[in-house]
Chains A and B, each alone.
Chain A
């Protein structure tokens, strides 16, 4: 933005971002209504039916007791990763290009986690007792089982949700104040409450920066641990092809990979439909493209390692599970995953590809389809081929499961659509930090929250 012949002014930023909150076109309502209706029809109705009927509404069976619900759970946890994690890493490394995109990335984290938590509820047989997984004092004098990787999971995810919520909220306080100063009526009341009386004094900025950096440092190991722990749900079993030490880094890399791709998708949408073209530029796509390339290479490497260990073990269970994954019933999905996640992203080696928006959008969607497939395959192929051949089986998702899968996308979209009307989806004060200081402060921008 620096050296631009027609530079953005502080006022423009405020006006653009506040406009994105208060001025709502009919398109937005159509989009929100569609997303909400899809959420109800595709997510909640089938889920309620499943609650009434039992998990039998899904396609799971005797060896394949886990299915797309768990795959979706891992997928959404994974998608949550890049948001806050990327934002934290870039904050600590002082990468200024982060500033325009991190708010939406963090929102993505938060909503992905919410959807993932919903998937747990959908997955378990008796979700009305899900609170038993929490360690709370109770009349039964029962604790949860602290040896269980699933309990680690509950702990990790609740911590991660809490941390991410605090992180995104704290980073938004100055922007809430800015919006507060430009709105009237109920919005003013709401933003007054949300901004916690922010006045923009030096001391407040200092404290904010300190706390923000502290949280950023705190969240990085947390984010890494969350997906490692999710991987232990699988790796701590003795199921062939799941019982692997590579799983924790595999899941973390996969999570950051799909999350980065998710950010590309979301940024494209924001740029296209929210008029953030001046803030989200080719530079961001270029940088994220480089990141995607590195991550795809890492991911491919881990996949090669996984195949090699399976092959090298020589154990009949491992080799059979591997053979089944590569050439069995689910093999087309496997090779689709390899194409989408290992081959196509190599295009990011070219700068021309990275800086073109539409191809990057397609790539990011392809990567996430591939990553969903990966999670599905981890669950489905491993469970279909376990130790006793008599108990081998086949799992195919039912209509209810596919509907709920679509429904989660709609649920995520609904949450995100609500977010862009409540949160300033571009961090105003941090974008301003990247700009030239104005020579003379214009009257319109000299509100209480002058940053």
Chain B
């Protein structure tokens, strides 16, 4: 073995890959479109949990609302034969995330839990991640937001309030994931139990259309659902390897 080969091998052995081959956890969300009624409770829960700004009428008209989770509406057919398809769209936490490669300052990266994270105080606001994201789930703070009293009292202390000029997006409620991991550690367990952690949207879903869990654990609820025939990923052809899996609506013959 030549000198150079030895160096190369040593390098391969010792380097810590920026992209993990195996995540500690591989958090995954499943959304059953058959059970989803489109009530929008998840949107509200997300708003409350994650200190999403209420941008106001003007900014809304300009298309600057911040909704980490939004309901997409697709109408089919002509009146009166119309059908409404609803799909909740949130950050898909792609394993091959286009947004991660483009950020010049690594403000968005993949952490060891398989989550696509956004570091607000590292973000310089090039907004390129929002361009690269095919799901259009990244939202930019076009200005500073205010919460009129007493609304400022209900801000979640576990979540930072973002300043103008930074990008933000769904975190899979990383504050809850962290808390669950801490609790597990304090209890002397090595791992978080299935169902122990739920993002706000999953927790609030009245029809229980959403589920959250660890894909690394073959026994977990989501792992079982993933194997089912209805599971699919949005824009799978782009090879983003997303972590949000939708369950197709079952069409019933009228």
**Is chain B found bound to chain A in the same assembly?**
yes
Report the separation of the CA atoms of residues A127 and B166 in the bound assembly, to the nearest whole angstrom.
Answer: 11
With A123-B126, A124-B125: A390-B74 Cβ-Cβ less than 8 Å: yes
Looking at chain B's contact residues, the main secondary structure is: loop
* Interface 9-mer from A93-101, A200-208, A230-238, A272-280: A230-238
Contacts of A388 in B (CB 8 A): 72, 89, 134-136, 234-235
Evaluate contact between B142 and A60: CB separation under 8 angstroms: yes
Contact (Cβ within 8 A) B130 A65? yes
Contact digits for B117-158, partner A, Cβ 8 Å, 1 yes 0 no: 000001111111011101110011111100000000000000
Number of interface residues of A (CB under 8 A): 45
Give every chain B residue within 8 A of A145 (Cβ-Cβ): 101, 103-106
Contact residue among B62, B101, B235 (Cβ-Cβ distance under 8 Å from A148) = B101
B136 touches A125 (CB 8 A): no
- Quick check: B143 and A238 within 8 Å, CB to CB? no
Given known contacts A388-B72, A390-B73, A390-B74, is B106 in contact with A144 (CB within 8 Å)?
Answer: yes
Chain B 56-86 interface 0/1 with A at a Cβ cutoff of 8 Å (1 = within): 0001001111000010111000000000000
Contact in complex: A133, B124 (CB < 8 Å):
yes
A213 to B: closest C-beta gap in Å:
35
Which residues of chain A from 109 to 156 have any CB-CB distance to chain B below 8 Å in the complex? Answer: 123-127, 129-130, 132-133, 142-145, 147-151, 154
B124 touches A124 (CB 8 A): yes
> Do B132 and A61 touch across chains, with their CB atoms under 8 A apart?
no
Give the residues in chain A near B135, CB-CB below 8 Å: 387-388
Say how far B143's CB is from chain A's closest CB, in angstroms.
Answer: 4
Q: How far is the CA of A430 from the CA of B139 in the complex (A)?
A: 55
Q: List 7 A-B contacts (CB under 8 A).
A: A55-B165, A60-B140, A62-B63, A65-B140, A130-B124, A145-B103, A151-B104
Task: Report A's interface with B, CB cutoff 8 A.
Answer: 53-56, 59-66, 123-127, 129-130, 132-133, 142-145, 147-151, 154, 233, 236-239, 383, 386-391, 393-394
Known contacts A132-B124, A145-B104; 15 additional CB pairs below 8 A are A56-B64, A56-B143, A56-B164, A124-B165, A126-B166, A127-B124, A133-B105, A148-B102, A149-B102, A150-B103, A386-B136, A388-B89, A389-B74, A390-B72, A394-B63
3 nearest interchain CB pairs?
A125-B125, A125-B165, A56-B142
